Amino acid sequence: MTATLDSIRRHLVGLKMPRALETLDHVLRQAERGTLSTLEAIDALLGEELALREARRVKAALQMGRLLTVKTLAGFDFAFQPSLDRDRILALAQLDFIDRHEVLHLLGQPALAS
């Protein structure tokens, strides 16, 4: 088992999968206890690696976009803009209209550009 485990570790290093390598022992312990099947263990390793890569991709995109700070609706001051319906905005942020195959039109006041 040790030779096989060493081989798996080398493969993960060669494939540049650091998060999968980091979580390998934990996932193997779960599989040995029977809490994960073989396919679930593989899925867990790949899922961890994919999550790391996605997080890196988002971080790199934000850096390339030169955005100073990441802003979310959690930090938005709805009291400053009382014309916005807080509940409606938060409901739209859930994107449920996509699952319902609905069209969303956003209308606002025309702005002056100079």
In this structure, the answer to whether residues 10 and 33 fall within a common structural domain is yes
The answer on pLDDT for 114 being more than 60 is no
Same-domain check for residues 60 and 83 = no
pLDDT digits (tens, 9 = 90+) for 36-87: 999 999 999 999 999 999 999 999 998 898 877 778 899 899 999 888 899 9
Q: How many domains does the structure of the chain reveal?
A: 2
Q: Is the pLDDT of residue 34 over 70?
A: yes
Identify whether residues 50 and 97 lie together within a single domain: no
Please tell me the predicted confidence (pLDDT) of residue 66: 84
Six token digits for residue 55: 């997080």
Write down the pLDDT at residue 54.
Answer: 96
